[in-house]
Chain A
């Protein structure tokens, strides 16, 4: 049931302007769109968490500036029946035709149920494993190979660290996190094969006191560069800066929080992904179902180097980045052992970034203490 009469005043002006603009633009395509394209975003946490959710919100904000696009957002939606109803409400009451549930736990069963119920609406999930034949055609998943950014983080950290000990504060030991830990360590060890990464797991995505304690514990062990994979790296970065050690950022650019110690960071560039999806929708084409990309495709980016980064590090990292941009660099290639001594990648074998095997990673590479 489309109920445009209930739109609040703030949205009304925006919608009218967008609607007028869309109606008056000469459209050389097949169908002229008098109604704006309504896109829905659903975040699992607060959209200003200086991290994961904020990165998506910034992508959404870029879409708001586009003509003919109306963006709906809901934040702090739990991964229960609530998200099903949020999606349904966006579709029924606001006419959404493209929905982005951005948290991993939204995929199964929630998004799949809604996709089956609304076959005309497109659903794209962040981080899920869409499989042809198993999942409906109006769903799909997208993600960025941010581990490339973490690899570069590791390279810079490897140069900058004087103690040879790096620290990684992780929320949960899930494949996406393990992949980041491994990439970071591999990057550092390509500079100094004796470097180790100490991992502390806090247990949940946003636990500021635990994250601060973890940072302090790592420093007590002699760690002098720290990075993290939690929803909001703010506490880790600020605590590290206060104790005088260096940090590599994640999700978004935290350089402002650590003017002395910030080295570089791995950031999302979601507005590129979302922009591509919108372009597809506007051309009346369904967006891709399994969309992945790294530095080359512009899905992720790196932060500018901080003052503490030595010249050697910049050169080496820039060199590797250029290779990645050209698609010529493989992070996960054999022979590779895990931190228990088993061989996880045989000699001569290599896994390209797009290899789905990497998305179910459950091991930690040699050199990670965890």
Chain B
């Protein structure tokens, strides 16, 4: 029978939590990374995440296939991302405001359409028991990972290669650094941003699907608590590099698991404050890494966030 881990439960829980809770962060941050590299900031990913979660759950329930749900979540995310890009493409429209508006719109639509899906149980995504050789049940459970986590890591590698080594990646980065240079090359910065934002939205949708189809694996209106927005801060922390987004996501996931882990070993004071750990972490990181004079190293010059 499983022995109790005592104080070791905290790091083990944080490891397990890091892997479990980080996956949505991974997808949303990679999506946002791509979007921001092209020179646009999309604050609406919180709404995309929630809409993706709901549509994945609904389709999985109606069709019986969780992977179909993930696909539909991707499409829903792409739609919202495309809408964001279209609106921002109009002259004189402020992209931060559009992001906030789509956050509200996406959330509203998700709550409205998701009403009939709160009760039913949709099939969940399978998991890969990475620690099948481990005897200790808690450690084994901590290493049970979801295929999407693996996909996320592979995606980060693919994105890094794409941005650094391919022609399209170069053009995308150029769109983020200087729209004039892109125009000189003969391409439209706006088209690049449209594609990047749509793809970013699709990835955020997958992140949402993870929430409702794997962990916690249920749909209701309290599913997201700002993860979409934190992922945006995460991208700044990761200096717009996909591999760093993975590490940052794991860190944030661990921070999210801190509260319950501490309570389970008897640290019961201030559970609200520990619950705020991810937000404090994000804020601290932003304060430490930003500077008003020196432009953030690696920041795409066209990005409004680093005026």
A binds B: yes
Q: Does B266 contact A (CB under 8 A)?
A: yes
Summed over the interface, the residue pairs from A and B with CB atoms below 8 Å come to a total of 120
Q: Does A13 contact B (CB under 8 A)?
A: no
Asked if A50 and B216 sit within 8 Å, CB to CB, the answer is: no
Q: Does A200 contact B (CB under 8 A)?
A: yes
Give the distance in Å from the alpha carbon of A324 to the alpha carbon of B220 in the complex: 36
Asked if A206 and B220 sit within 8 Å, CB to CB, the answer is: yes
B6's nearest neighbour on chain A, judged by CB, is A221
Asked if B275 and A203 sit within 8 Å, CB to CB, the answer is: yes
Asked if A200 and B264 sit within 8 Å, CB to CB, the answer is: yes
| Chain B: minimal CB distance from A218 (Å) | 6
In the complex, per-residue mask of B1-17: 1 if CB is within 8 Å of any chain A CB, else 0: 11111000100110011
Among B83-91, B221-229, B282-290, which stretch is in contact with chain A? B221-229
Give the distance in Å from the alpha carbon of A187 to the alpha carbon of B267 in the complex: 26
Residues of chain A within 8 A (CB-CB) of B216 are 208-209, 211-212, 235, 238-239
Q: Does A214 contact B (CB under 8 A)?
A: yes
Given A208-B222, A219-B141, A235-B217, check contact A162 B118 (CB 8 Å): no
Give the distance in Å from the alpha carbon of A268 to the alpha carbon of B54 in the complex: 29
Residues of chain B within 8 A (CB-CB) of A206 are 220-222
Asked if A201 and B271 sit within 8 Å, CB to CB, the answer is: yes
Residues of chain A within 8 A (CB-CB) of B261 are 213, 217, 220
Give the distance in Å from the alpha carbon of A210 to the alpha carbon of B264 in the complex: 13
Q: Which of A163, A207, A212 contacts B225 (CB 8 A)?
A: A207
Given A209-B256, A213-B257, check contact A221 B218 (CB 8 Å): no
Q: Does A232 contact B (CB under 8 A)?
A: yes
Residues of chain A within 8 A (CB-CB) of B13 are 213, 216-217, 220
Give the distance in Å from the alpha carbon of A217 to the alpha carbon of B266 in the complex: 12
Asked if B21 and A209 sit within 8 Å, CB to CB, the answer is: yes
Q: How many residues of B contact A (CB 8 A)?
A: 42
Q: Which of A49, A202, A221, A238 contacts B217 (CB 8 A)?
A: A238
Given A200-B263, A221-B264, check contact A213 B222 (CB 8 Å): no
Q: Which of B20, B211, B259 contacts A210 (CB 8 A)?
A: B259
Q: Does A198 contact B (CB under 8 A)?
A: yes
In the complex, per-residue mask of B264-284: 1 if CB is within 8 Å of any chain A CB, else 0: 111010011001000000000
A51's nearest neighbour on chain B, judged by CB, is B220
In the complex, besides A213-B257, A242-B124, 15 extra interface pairs with C-beta distance below 8 angstroms are A46-B221, A162-B1, A163-B1, A208-B223, A216-B13, A216-B260, A217-B257, A219-B141, A220-B13, A220-B264, A221-B4, A221-B9, A221-B265, A222-B2, A369-B266
Q: Does A165 contact B (CB under 8 A)?
A: yes
Give the distance in Å from the alpha carbon of A217 to the alpha carbon of B4 in the complex: 11
Given A165-B4, A220-B9, A221-B9, check contact A209 B225 (CB 8 Å): yes
Q: List 19 A-B contacts (CB under 8 A).
A: A49-B118, A49-B220, A209-B223, A210-B275, A212-B215, A213-B256, A213-B259, A214-B264, A216-B16, A217-B260, A217-B263, A218-B264, A219-B138, A220-B4, A220-B9, A220-B261, A222-B3, A238-B121, A238-B216
